[in-house]
Amino acid sequence: MQKFNEAIVCGISLLIINVVIMFSSSVTGSLVVEWEVFSIASAFYSFPLLFDWVSMSFSWVVTYIASMVMFFSVGYMSEERFLGRFVWIVFFFVLSMNFLIFVPSVWGVMLGWDGLGVSSFALVIYYQNKKSLSAGLLTALVNRVGDAMMILSICMLCRQGQWSLCYHEEGFLACGMSMVIAAMTKSAQFPFCSWLPAAMAAPTPVSALVHSSTLVTAGVYILIRFSEYLNEVRGGLMFVASCTLMLAAIGANMENDLKKIIALSTLSQLGMMMLAISFNESSLALFHLLSHALLKALLFMCAGAMIHGGGDTQDIRLMGGLWASMPGTMACFNAANLALCGMPFVGAFYSKDLILEKILGGDAGLYMVILVVVSTGLTIAYSVRLSFMVGWGPSNAVPVSCYGDEKWQTGAMYGLVGAAVAGGSFLQKMFIEFNVVVFTFPCVKKVVPICLVLALSISLYLSLKSPSLKVKSHFFSSMWFLSNISGQPMVFNGLSPSFKFSSKMDKGWMEKGSGRGAYLNLSFAGVKHHFWQSLKVTGMVGGGLLFGGFSVLAL
């Protein structure tokens, strides 16, 4: 009972912090609190805290989702022996994310950035099996690339004589590129996106937190803070975001694993956020980030309840008919799916609508417009497919009676469903209040893209499921072979020639023919030469003495 109390107390504490942040965010304006740690000569080391509408709104979403995740974990991980350890790791994870949000300096960013990396690795390998270890190592190694780029960009910023990330010199191309690459690894952009589906080996409450508002959004948040100084790299960021958007949208329609479909959906929405940043609309990216975080946490919670109630079954082809046995879970699941699709006046409709209007009304070009419209249509396709196969499709394996709503899980889901459905409308009022530019299109121009998106979603879904594309299905489902390249079998296949080269050449012929091997060979040859030479001289001397002795006796 004590381990349950720890999770409940942690959830209540996060909820109280969330209420405090919500009331504090109602105060307009920005507040900077700076503590001078020490100063040496001309170097000034301080610990600042930045409280503005960006940081307060993001922290409110993070703490609210974390509190609901704690309540959800009480029911989902009821049989877990080390629930207390899990609670403390999650608390450290949330603390690291808030360091990243509120501390606009080199030290705060590094504390939050590395804290997210370490705690995410501990959460991914929580089940301590081979699959979890492989996914954790892949996550850690990819994020290490971003850590190196972040340290490099920080070193470049330190050349300006200050440690804040809010004031830089414009036109710093190398620093902007390093920051973009670091954000790409953390937010799983192409070609660093293979770790995101692999991290589904973590417990589902971890996925609800990590893949909604914390780890994967850290890179997007850094670029939002740094967006004014990315003018030189916006073209490359646009290309990367468009590739990620198309890759994830197609892959989600080819996937049958419930958690991986939702993870690829997260990847698709992260691509849309990066696309908004590449168009110099960081406020829209933050708007979509917040509204998406609320609904995606709800989606993962619903998926966890289905998996937990169905005997750890994650294949959607083995599910079906859950609307009768899990009505509360399916109601929340369908509401989150509708909010993800962008149904009018629900959830992410407000943010996605503004991003699409910006792309359609700007100078993005025909190919970019087609790509974004097709990807949006594919979002509708896999969301409808998921709801139909899980909720109303026939059950193929697990009996429907095995499923059922659990009070702690459904309670946490009910706490998020209101924010997921009405969060977009609430956030829009806040963003308009802070003078975010809003685009308006005539009614005819808004209806035509909607009809085009629906038609493309139906046609593309049917074409992706046609027999002619079965040969290419592995290409799409493996994320353009990125999963194969970075996965464990490919690593072992790549290490096997290296092992043979090391054993046959490096420890074999090269060891004998160069360096210490040549020295040992020459030393051995010298010893043998000395031995045989000494033996020959000794034999000749002995033979001469013996012959001389016989000659003396004969005389």
pTM: 0.80
Q: pLDDT over 70 for what percent of the chain?
A: 70
Three-state SS at 275:
helix
Mean pLDDT comparison of 166-175, 278-287, 419-428, highest-scoring range = 278-287
For 297-319, the DSSP string reads HHHHHHHHHHHHHTTS--BGGG-
Residues 453, 459: Cα–Cα separation, whole Å: 10
User: Of 81 and 243, which is predicted with more confidence?
Assistant: 243
pLDDT at 331: 87
Q: Which residue has better confidence, 415 or 14?
A: 415
Place of tokens 């160069």: 514
The confidence band for 434, taking pLDDT boundaries of 50, 70 and 90, is low
Report which of residues 145 and 3 the model is more confident about. 145
Model confidence at 538, pLDDT cuts 50, 70, 90, reads: low
More confident residue, 407 or 127: 127
For the stretch 304-329, pLDDT in tens is 888 877 667 788 878 877 777 788 88
pLDDT exceeds 60 at position 553: no
**Mean pLDDT, residues 60-66 taken together:** 87
Between 40 and 271, residue with greater pLDDT: 271
Question: What confidence score (pLDDT) does residue 484 get?
Answer: 56
Residue 471: band (very low, low, confident or very high) from pLDDT cuts 50, 70, 90: very low
Q: What is the pLDDT of residue 34?
A: 78
Distance between CA atoms of residues 414 and 75, nearest Å = 14
The tens digit of pLDDT for each residue in 211-254 reads 887 888 888 888 888 877 777 788 888 888 888 888 888 888 88
- Average the pLDDT over each of 34-48, 52-66, 207-221, 266-280 and give the range with the smallest value: 34-48
Q: Are 333 and 302 in contact (CB under 8 A)?
A: yes
Share of the chain above pLDDT 90, in %: 0
Q: Are the beta carbons of 244 and 271 closer than 8 angstroms?
A: yes
- How far out from the chain centre does Cα 404 lie? 31
Structure tokens at 166: 């809010």
CA 311 to chain centre: 27
Q: If residue 295 lies in a helix (H) or strand (E), which one and from where to where?
A: helix 282-309
Instruction: Give the pLDDT confidence score for residue 467 in this predicted structure.
Output: 47
Q: State the average pLDDT over residues 83-91.
A: 83
Tally Cβ neighbours within 10 Å of residue 380.
22
Is the pLDDT at 280 greater than 70? The verdict is yes
pLDDT score for 443: 66
Query: Residue 487 above 60 pLDDT?
Result: no
Q: Tell me the CA distances in angstroms from 196 to 20, 250, 311, 486, one per residue in order.
A: 32, 16, 24, 12
For residues 206 and 199, what is the distance between their CA atoms, to the nearest angstrom? 10
182 burial via Cβ count (<10 Å: 0-12, 13-18, 19+): buried
Residue 196 has pLDDT above 80, yes or no: yes
The answer to whether 261 touches 382, Cβ cutoff 8 Å, is yes
pLDDT for 430 equals 72
Between CA 236 and CA 240 the distance in angstroms is 6
Residue 96 token pair: 């690291």
CB 63 within 8 A of CB 14: yes
366 exposure class (CB count in 10 Å sphere: 0-12, 13-18, 19+): exposed
Beta bridge partners of 51: 31
Pairwise CA distance, residues 465 & 256, whole Å: 12
Q: What rounded mean pLDDT belongs to the chain?
A: 75
User: Which two structure tokens, joined as six digits, stand for 212?
Assistant: 């909604």
**What are the structure tokens assigned to 493, written together?**
């296949």
Q: Which residue has the higher pLDDT, 518 or 250?
A: 250
Angle (CA) 438-442-444 rounded to 5° is: 140
Pairwise pLDDT comparison (524 vs 435), residue with the higher score: 524
Q: Is 449 exposed, middle or buried (0-12, 13-18, 19+ CB in 10 A)?
A: buried
Element of type H or E holding 290? helix 282-309
Has residue 352 got a pLDDT over 70? Answer: yes
Residue 405 has pLDDT above 70, yes or no: no
Q: How many CB atoms lie within 10 A of CB 79?
A: 6
**Exposure string for 248-282, b = 16+ CB within 10 A, e = fewer:** bbbbbbbbebbbbbbbbbbbbbbbbbbbbbbbbbb
